[in-house]
Structure 1
């Protein structure tokens, strides 16, 4: 069994270098609606039996470029919200600080974040528990931070693949799991009797 994970194309949503918390929140809302910058995704000749995709426009646009069949749209695949970790009225911080500290706040279970670490993990496993496992090759198109966390849950379910530290836009990451039925159906060397 094989699962392919693809992060959506890069989003065309420039940002100011320095922002207040409200400006970061406004930028985040704009990012949700912004157009993507399409690029060619190397799919290595893979054939996918089914494709699941987040319900956010940037993921759907990407999925239509990499998969020609029916898309199974699922809001469980949405990106983890990254809210301002503190409220500032006049004080501006670099964009990178807002972004990184929001993710750290999520990791350390800060109430500033709309979804907890446990909530994200639960959502991923809810999705994994309901998909069609009768399909041999499953493609999933969604978001960077979700993909980073998703790979960890796949490995707990005995899938093997690249350990991703930085998720790139428009890149296919593949994970495989050996089918124990197929493995046991093949005779081991030395088992065949010669008459």
Structure 2
């Protein structure tokens, strides 16, 4: 069996540059990112005949799946991106500072750890369904952080594939098991 992971096409929402931003500014940016359009691209599906496509219910992933897969697409809320942490500080930081805090929140923030735990449970549910389907090749279109955890879970399950760092938009990563 092959499971292909594809990150949605690039979102047309640049990181803010320049000034310092409050926690509410960062929350607002993430809300706008979730609603922004995507820059259509193309995905090399490596000549593999994909039998099924599972996709996050977020618009950027659904549009990507519709562009790259010609068949029935199953929308799964379980493939939704892990929510960004909420900060309550009055601190103002450059946007890069907030991105670093978001990365560190895995270590420092109980809610972020809980969100990741729930995301891993969702990933396991989707992968269990994909493997149980007896289909030969399943394509999954999702989001960067979720794909990173999904690739680790696939390797734990005995699949062979690339070591996935931060996934490139629109690129196929194939895992065989």
TM-score (norm. length: structure 2): 0.91
Deviations 1:101-120 (A, max 9, x none): 22321x22613538433222
Contact 2:11 2:36 in 1 (8 A): yes
Mean CA deviation greater in 159-168 or 51-60: 159-168
Match of 2:2 in 1: 2
Q: Could you give the per-residue CA deviations for residues 71-126 of structure 1, whole angstroms, max 9, x where no partner exists?
A: 10000000001124x3233x321222222322321x22613538433222112112
Helix, strand or coil at the partner of 2:110: coil
Q: Which residue of 2 aligns with 1:108?
A: 107
Which structure has more relative contact order (CA 8 Å, sep 6+)? It is 2
Post-superposition CA distance 1:44-84 (Å, at most 9, x none): 22210000000000000000111010110000000001124
How far apart, in 1, do the equivalents of 2:168 and 2:22 lie? 27
Task: Tell me, yes or no, if the aligned pair for 1:77 and 1:142 is still in contact at 8 Å.
Answer: yes
Instruction: State how 1:60-71 maps to structure 2 within 5 Å.
Output: 60-71=62-73
Aligned partner of 1:143 in structure 2 is 143
Which structure carries more helix by proportion? 2
- 8 Å CA contact 1:82–1:103 kept in 2: the answer is no
Aligned length: 174
Task: State the shift of 1:130 in Å.
Answer: 2.4
Partner of residue 76 from structure 1, selected from 75, 78, 81: 78
Structure 2: 5+ residue runs without aligned partners? Answer: none
TM-score when scaled to structure 1?
0.83
Q: 2:59 aligns with which of 37, 46, 57?
A: 57
Where does residue 128 of structure 1 map in the other structure? 127
Question: Take 1:174 and 1:141, find their aligned partners in 2: how far apart are those partners?
Answer: 12
